[in-house]
Structure 1
Amino acid sequence: MEWIKNTGIAASLVLLGGVAVNTTYNKKQDSVSAIAENKRAFPSQIDFAGEQAPLNISDVKERLDRELLVNANLDATTLLIIKRANRAFPVVEPILKQYGVPDDFKYLAVIESGLVNAVSPAGARGVWQFMPETGKQYGLEINELVDERYHLAKSTEAACKYLLWAKSKFGSWTLAAASYNAGVAGVNKQMTFQGVESYYDLMLNDETSRYVFRILALKEIMQHPAQYGFSLTPTELYNLIPTKQVPVTASVTDLSVWAKEQGINYKILKIHNPWLRDRKLDVAAGKQYTLEIPLSGY
């Protein structure tokens, strides 16, 4: 996925995913100097899901420093992520809470996909980047017509199920997060071989070694955006568009025609229902799909 850069000085406040963030946009000419001058640019302490990162260990501090610097110096991508979070987090946060998964896992989705329905070279898809078999294992419908990896709410539920299972295996949310990248078996194998029980004590491949630190960096930057040079006015954030739910209990042979019957067009239908993967929708007897249709005026 892409990473991020630097912009701004604060003036007012808006809520971003339940967190108050400063809101004015002023581009800085020298972002690195701006960060260096900011006393809070490197946190004195930071935790993931309540589990403190041991910043007293030199390599742990340096690994976090790397991700903060990288992500604070990739302008457009971070700005887009902050804008998208205003739309995505209100969907993700209640589901995490419902399942008892810590709110910090919304930042895992951030580093997995940038909060868009990304497609990886390996075939992982959606905001939560599920591979086909894993998605099916956790209850997602995936076929030629329907791919619920692209359904934000349902894929968030699937991610919660995986993370709860991983937490039950490790007893640690940080290790559960690492396993989202390397797999439970992969993390467990290295823990057994190395004889350690903490993510921060493990020698792992480069991607997994950076994984939790990327989450921590995005959490820190998104919770304190102006302190890392990022701030936006409320009007610059992407809003969650109000929709109505339309049940579909019979097959639809032409979704373009169906969309017009709902008062929208095919493009708008696909924007709000990206899990529809064809021009038609087959509905088996006794099956029901629910499609999101934006309310009039949106």
Structure 2
Amino acid sequence: MDTTPEPPQPQLQPSARPPEAEPEPERPESSAPSAPSEGAEQQPPDRPEHPPRPGYDPPPAHAPRAPWGDGVRFAFGTLTVLPVRGTRWDREAAHAGMLCAPLAGLAVGLCAAAVGGVLLFLGGGPLLAAVATAAIPAVLTRGLHLDGLADTADGLGSGKPAEDALRIMKRSDIGPFGVITLLFVLLGQVAALAELYGEDWAHGAVGAAVAGVAARCALTLAARVGVPAARPEGLGAAVAGAVPWRSAGVVAAVTVVGCAVVAVPFGPYAVVLNAFAALAALAAAELLLHHCHRRLGGVTGDVFGALAEAAATTALVVLTFG
């Protein structure tokens, strides 16, 4: 018997499937959203798309700001001739400077009261002290506010359209409307101050201070947002719309309260009278501002001067009541 082992028989492999791809089994439907492809934006479900971005940048919510030191220098350098070195004259400094305008008015009023007090101490009468007190603000502003009052009176009194009225206001001469307005305004200021000094120096000094602060506070309100400049150049264009409404309202409220507080030594009636004088001064300036806005299309440097003189005169006249 042959004991030689037989060679192993090769095991048959199962036949390979043809190279055709097998159909992918159907996946059960699922409520879960399919994963987004890489790089595709994901949109939250059931939420509307954002509106397209406008082609311009919206204006800032608040006016530009500058340090208060720059604002004080801007206010004193623009509204007085006191030796204050201004370092900035841009829009940011104009914003802070117009908020500090009542401080410049307080300094002018105190200087005027000091001169009136010196004359009274030297033996001068109330009328002479009143004339000096009314003259000091003109000296400390180089007469710019009085000049603005005269020019505004000429422009408004002409009865001509805005362009012609602005052209009249820009002239260097003063017409009949300006002369008459200056005459009565200065007479009213001197008469009111003489009556206040007739009581004592303290009443005259408080009157001068209240008139100065209220006059410059009227400029702060006139520089608020929404009041345009009538010309593209000049002081009006530099400060027009530089003060937000809320800031202007805060300055006005502080001014009225401050004017009332300084009258505390004179009694409750004086406190109420001083507050009413400040409110009346700001109201008179607002009426004039509204008229100038309607007739001229906005404010100018001359209009700012007219507003200051109108507010100061109104405050002094009201302080003589009672």
Q: Indicate the TM-score class for this superposition, using the shorter chain for normalisation.
A: under 0.3
TM-score, length basis structure 2: 0.24
Higher strand fraction (1 or 2): 1
TM-score, length basis structure 1: 0.26
- Greater relative contact order (Cα 8 A, min sep 6): structure 1 or 2? 1
Larger Rg: 2
Higher helix fraction (1 or 2): 2
